[in-house]
Amino acid sequence: MKYFDVCIIGGGHTGLVSALAFAKNNFNVLCIEKESYFETGATRLELRTTAHLMPAVKFLDSVGIWEHLKKYSCPLKTLKIINNYTVTSKASSKASENIFESEEIRKNCFGYNVPLGQSIKTLRQLVSSNENIELYNSTSLVSSRIDDELRLVQLSNGEIIKTKLLIGADGSRSAVRNLFNISVFEKNTQQIALTFNVKHGIEHSNISYEIYKEGGPLTTVPMADDAGGMHSSIVWMNKKQVADDLLKLNKKDFLEVLNERSHFCLGPMEPISKIKDIPVKFMIAKQITSERVAIIGEAAHKLPPIGAQGFNMSVKDIEILLDLSLRNPEAIGSFEMLNRYQIKRYPEILSKSGSVGMLNLLAYSEQMPFQKMRAFGLDAINSFSPLKRIIMRFGLG
């Protein structure tokens, strides 16, 4: 029976980063992924992107990952929020603009936008060549039990391994969470995120736009390209019915609606990738530990894609779990260590999730009180710079 200090279930974004972070600190790691190794044929401009905020970048740098992702990344220097709202019962629509500059909080940028497919491919290559990590593809978790100070893990390839710490990084439908009967709070917001990449007529100048209207925001996130900043990725949230109707439009009509909705902030835009429709869910696990088990990433929290929090929260989970493991490496996976993980990490997961949930409600509601609150909140933030700086720092985590 093979022994590993850490066994990670899930070789997605969170699982791969955690495998590399633990391996960098001399733990021997097994990472289990149920899918076979995938190579995507798409180019870097055709893939969904993930905004990495500065605290996550700093951690990825400290464990030797960032230098490999940096070359595909695009700095995010400015956030412009355009808010469409209705303030009177006569339903006259107005639009206001708020600008957040990273320089206002003395940073060169808020973070970097990285193509997800490129990032997964790079992380997999790093994992495959790391001598402290074994990666099993096309394998999943079957069952697990405690044996003295260890956890035995039965895998679908017939193997049973021993580990001190089992990490569930297996996404929002986590088998680890289910196996250990960890229940969740969840809400289906009945929204769909349409995600695709576009080329546009005006340079993005490292600006991300969030354009608010009922149904949710349309967000543009700048991408690195060879054409001087003429590509961005789009996350366009809508109520399900509206998204379904948009997907039925022909190309010309879709372009017309998209360009009007984007306020032509980047000039005329045109999709250069497939349009993916992703259901938006809100889910928080009621606890993030069990005996010699920790759950991280979307297995622990799944949020609407607003404010670029999802993966950035996953990196924080990994950072805290690693830090606690390093305080006493012999006691990795012990009750005391995992108890500290729960106490240290869980309140922040609740507060971040609560803020994102509230922001999403304010963002998608067509009811006038919520639209007024959104307009009032943005005005207040804009006119009181200390509050604006606090909000920006909170957003960065």
* Least distance from ligand FAD to the Cβ atom of residue 62, Å: 18
Q: Which is nearer to ligand FAD, 37 or 384 (CB)?
A: 37
Q: Which is nearer to ligand FAD, 7 or 362 (CB)?
A: 7
* Least distance from ligand FAD to the Cβ atom of residue 302, Å: 7
Q: Which is nearer to ligand FAD, 36 or 129 (CB)?
A: 36
Distance, CA of 148 to CA of 163 (rounded, Å): 11
* Least distance from ligand FAD to the Cβ atom of residue 309, Å: 6
Q: Which is nearer to ligand FAD, 180 or 311 (CB)?
A: 311
Query: CA separation (Å) from 259 to 88, 201, 202, 269?
Result: 26, 11, 13, 6
SS3 209: strand
SS3 168: strand
Q: Which is nearer to ligand FAD, 298 or 319 (CB)?
A: 298
Distance, CA of 176 to CA of 342 (rounded, Å): 16
AA letter at 329: P
Distance, CA of 304 to CA of 351 (rounded, Å): 14
Phi, psi values for residue 269, rounded to 5°: -120, 155
* Least distance from ligand FAD to the Cβ atom of residue 13, Å: 4
Tokens coding 321? 């779990």
* Least distance from ligand FAD to the Cβ atom of residue 43, Å: 19
User: For the sheet containing 74-76, what is the strand order?
Assistant: 49-53, 111-115, 74-76
Q: Which is nearer to ligand FAD, 314 or 325 (CB)?
A: 314
Phi, psi values for residue 180, rounded to 5°: -100, 20
Q: Which is nearer to ligand FAD, 223 or 235 (CB)?
A: 235
Q: Which is nearer to ligand FAD, 15 or 215 (CB)?
A: 15
CA nearest to 33, candidates 176, 106, 141:
141
* Least distance from ligand FAD to the Cβ atom of residue 157, Å: 11
AA letter at 390: I
Distance, CA of 196 to CA of 220 (rounded, Å): 10
* Least distance from ligand FAD to the Cβ atom of residue 372, Å: 28
DSSP for 53-77 reads EHHHHHHHHHTT-HHHHGGG-EEE-
Report the interface residues with ligand FAD, using CB under 6 A.
Answer: 9-15, 32-35, 50-51, 140-141, 169-171, 175, 193, 195, 235, 278, 297-298, 305, 308-312, 314
Which alpha helices (H) appear in 168-309, and where do they start and end?
175-179, 240-248, 251-261
Beta strands 49-53 and 289-290 are unpaired
* Least distance from ligand FAD to the Cβ atom of residue 303, Å: 7
Beta strands 301-302 and 276-285 are antiparallel
Q: Which is nearer to ligand FAD, 266 or 396 (CB)?
A: 396
Q: Which is nearer to ligand FAD, 272 or 278 (CB)?
A: 278
* Least distance from ligand FAD to the Cβ atom of residue 160, Å: 15
Would you tell me how many other CB atoms lie within 10 Å of the CB of residue 17?
Answer: 29
* Least distance from ligand FAD to the Cβ atom of residue 178, Å: 9
Return the DSSP state at 322: H
Distance, CA of 56 to CA of 17 (rounded, Å): 11
